[in-house]
Amino acid sequence: MTDQTGAGIPGASVVLTAVSTSQSRTTQSNDQGEYTFTSLQPGQYKIDVKAQNFASETIIAELAVAQQLRADVALGVGQVSGPVNVTSSEGGVAVETDNAQLSNVVNQRQVTELPLIDRNPYDLIALSAGATDGPDRGTGNQRGAGFSVNGQRTQSGNFLLDGGENNDTFTSQPGQNVPLDTIQEFRVQTNNYTAEYGRGAGFVPNVVTKSGSNQFHGTLYEFNRNSKFAANDSFNIANGITKPFFNRNQFGGSVGGPVIKNKTFFFRVRTH
């Protein structure tokens, strides 16, 4: 936090408010004008800054999973015309300036719209640079998520769910498979991540699930795969073999909202 000359402003009041839940936290800037909020959920936040003899400032910041987001504020002596948006881009994709980790964020749009025949969120590890199918992927003997990342073994992943360990130590797979529709986003960390993630030398699928907000929201969906909408295989045509029949439907829905507004929330998913 600085003034118009670039000098730090100590003792400024900083209020952080989650846009979806209106829950807030307050701190003050230190002697160098720096402020820190830790252990935040991914999402959009409003930051209100006030300091004596300076005009107040409001910025909007979007935080992704396992991200250290720097939100600098410059206070002036005049009136502020409007809020400043501090967001890297959709899904928190940005050049890391506060750490050296290599990673890929799978954002909400990708989670919702990319076709996954078995609706397994860990199939989206394939979007990361350096990820290839392991030799046992799709077999009954598969270990880990079935992906080899940067040449490491498929068993070398460390699965995290909402900040906690989610490992099946016998099979090296996720201890708890979560429905795709419960996922807000996740980050696949592949190199140079810090010691706090530990255990896995290959990659860290870091999943964050959805929660309710101050507004009620719900979804209903059906995914259909039907041979009527597909062409026959060229080899079948050459050999006079008719197109095989296939029909698959996947149904589901979700609902979320407040239990006690600004304090307690719920989110529920049902799939078939």
pLDDT tier at 242 (50, 70, 90 boundaries)? Answer: very high
Per-residue confidence (pLDDT) for residue 11, from 0 to 100: 92
**Residue 36 predicted with pLDDT over 70:** yes
Q: Are 128 and 188 in contact (CB under 8 A)?
A: yes
Compute CA 236 distance to the chain's CA centroid, rounded to the nearest angstrom: 43
Indicate whether 167 and 132 sit together in one domain: yes
Q: What is the CATH number of the domain that holds 201?
A: 2.170.130.10
One-letter amino acid for residue 157 of the chain: G
**Mean local confidence (pLDDT), 57-72:** 87
Give the domain-ending residue among 209, 228, 257: 209
**Residue 247 predicted with pLDDT over 50:** yes
Indicate whether 47 and 86 sit together in one domain: yes
pLDDT tier at 89 (50, 70, 90 boundaries)? Answer: very low
The model carries a pTM of: 0.73
Residues 6+ apart with CB under 8 A from 9: 1, 2, 3, 29, 33, 51, 54, 75
pLDDT digits (tens, 9 = 90+) for 186-222: 889 888 888 888 777 788 999 999 888 999 989 888 8
pLDDT tier at 155 (50, 70, 90 boundaries)? Answer: confident
Is residue 8, in this structure, part of any structural domain at all? no
pLDDT tier at 86 (50, 70, 90 boundaries)? Answer: low
Q: What is the CATH number of the domain that holds 44?
A: 2.60.40
The answer to whether the Cα torsion of 262, 107, 38, 8 is positive or negative is negative
One-letter amino acid for residue 33 of the chain: G
What's the mean per-residue pLDDT of the chain?
A: 85
Indicate whether 225 and 204 sit together in one domain: no
pLDDT top residue among 62 and 144 = 62
Indicate whether 125 and 66 sit together in one domain: no
Indicate whether 137 and 71 sit together in one domain: no
Per-residue confidence (pLDDT) for residue 41, from 0 to 100: 87
**Mean local confidence (pLDDT), 142-170:** 86
Is residue 55, in this structure, part of any structural domain at all? yes
Q: How many domains does the chain have?
A: 3
Share of the chain above pLDDT 90, in %: 25
Lowest mean pLDDT among 49-58, 97-106, 160-169, 235-244: 97-106
Indicate whether 71 and 143 sit together in one domain: no
Share of the chain above pLDDT 70, in %: 91
Indicate whether 113 and 205 sit together in one domain: yes
Per-residue confidence (pLDDT) for residue 103, from 0 to 100: 85
For residue 76, give its domain range: 13-92
pLDDT top residue among 91 and 42 = 42
In the numeric block, the tokens 């990319």 are attached to 114
Indicate whether 205 and 110 sit together in one domain: yes
**Mean local confidence (pLDDT), 224-240:** 90
**Residue 108 predicted with pLDDT over 50:** yes
Indicate whether 242 and 198 sit together in one domain: no
Give the domain-ending residue among 171, 188, 209: 209
Quote the Cα angle for 83-85-87, to 5°: 165
Indicate whether 124 and 56 sit together in one domain: no
